[in-house]
Chains A and B, each alone.
Chain A
Amino acid sequence: MSSLYQRLGGQEAVDAVVETFYRKVLMDDRISEFFEDIDMEQQIQKQKAFLTMVFGGPVNYSGLDMREGHKHLVDRGLNDQHVDAVIELLGTALAEHGVNQEEISEVASIANSVRDDVLNRTTG
């Protein structure tokens, strides 16, 4: 079976989804504070890389990368509610790009699989 990455239409489609997703993140009062004061372009490149992996494209992040990349945010109070909000907005962005609910759930469960790493806690 082809990956969602391929079904979406490869890197260009992922890029478009990321921009939609990032706009939602920046406008959402629940989480926008974590995205202030950072270089937008670098942030977008990182999101592209992460979502490329989530969609089954040619990127592999290790749990360690995820931990180190978010540690400073955990120190600033990043918690489960924020991760929920991010996954919810990702789903909305995907829906706007014509992805069906079943696939959105699949993406959410992959995104959920890195939750403990993102929040820098030991897997229970």
Chain B
Amino acid sequence: MSDVEICYKERTYRVYPGETVLESLERAGIFVPSSCRAGVCQSCLLKSEEGTPPPRSQEGLKPQLKASGHFLACICRPQEYIKCAPAHTADFRGNVTIKDIKKIGKNVALVRFHKPDNFNYTPGQFVTLTLRGGLSRSYSIATYLNSESYFDIHVRHIEKGRMSTWFHSQAQKGDRLWMEGPKGECTYNPGHPNEPLTLIGTGTGIAPLYAIAKDALENGHSGPIALYQGALKEESLYFEDEIENMAASHSNIRYVRCVLHKSFRQNITYGDLKDIALSELTDANTRRIYLCGDPGLVRILKKSFFLAGVSIKKIHADPFVVSEHKK
């Protein structure tokens, strides 16, 4: 056996026979986080951008991570050239142009972008957008057909939020933004068409969940799909027609609107979103869960569903953090 070359952050390193990617990088003085060094703790996760990592180095990873080329450096003995990057490095880095903007709910704008030819996403993923001047935020993709010539995001106007204020008051058709993406593992898991799914979102968290549900249907998913849209007040609900249309044409979709503060609409369930969703939980040991939106709620729901018996491997969470560099 002879040496293999790998590339990491634009530099080339030699991997001796029997050596792992982690050992090779460490020998060159490159720091990569690691802990168990046996392919279990996943601290040393890297992503391959070119070349195929050996299957053994992807064992135990979520299917979404495998599909995006992630592997464990501590057990990766490469057989061929691999160009690797830190975990979760985005495939696309470049400019995108706004195609259209329209208001679709109280405080929510739909922003449509021309989709660059070399940008491909899986429904449920998100992108990080940066304005000239460096202001940066992440937004989930609201569309579900990668084949279309555009993609959408939903932007809720947050008081004093600089980026959302820009989208709501200044952004115009033709404006260009820097984009990195796609990111995230909150996506449909193909190959299990009968699996029961629960999707729970608050605010614009409903956008990626709608995309995941649509993607599931496109993939022929036949198991039950429960989609919960949570809000404090009923006027914060939006995008209801689209979800209702989807539910009306697919009998396996159940659409539940949960609102905390009582009002008089007929088709709304009143009460605590967590309590309602948990009280309706069945088949905990086979169910897959998707959570998007308010980070506090996502965290509580993740823990609650885990304690209720759902495997952590089947809980996909995408907390929408409101801060400088995250969503």
Residues of A within 8 A of B (CB): 11, 15, 19, 22-23, 26-27, 40-42, 44-46, 48-49, 52-53, 57-61, 65
Contact = CB atoms under 8 A, between A and B. Distances in A.
B303 A40 contact: yes
B306 A40 contact: yes
Interface of B: 35-38, 40-43, 59-60, 302-303, 306-307, 311-313
Given A11-B60, A46-B41, A65 B35 contact: yes
A45 B42 contact: yes
B38 A52 contact: yes
A11 B40 contact: yes
A26 B36 contact: no
Q: Please classify the interface of chain A as helix (H, G, I), strand (E, B), loop, or mixed, using the class held by over half of its residues.
A: helix
A60 B306 CA distance: 28
27 contacts: A11-B40, A11-B59, A11-B60, A15-B313, A19-B311, A19-B312, A22-B306, A23-B306, A26-B307, A27-B307, A40-B302, A40-B303, A45-B40, A45-B41, A45-B42, A46-B35, A46-B36, A46-B41, A48-B40, A48-B41, A52-B40, A53-B36, A59-B36, A59-B40, A60-B37, A61-B35, A65-B35
Contacts of A48: 40-41
Given A23-B306, A40-B306, A49 B312 contact: no
B23 to A, nearest CB: 15
Contacts of A60: 36-38
B35 A41 contact: no
Given A19-B311, A23-B307, A26-B307, A49 B60 contact: no
Contacts of A19: 306, 311-312
A53 B1 CA distance: 31
A59 B38 contact: yes
Contacts of A22: 306, 312
In the complex, the 7 A-B pairs of residues with the closest C-beta atoms, listed nearest first: A49-B36, A49-B41, A49-B40, A59-B38, A45-B42, A59-B36, A45-B41
B288 to A, nearest CB: 15
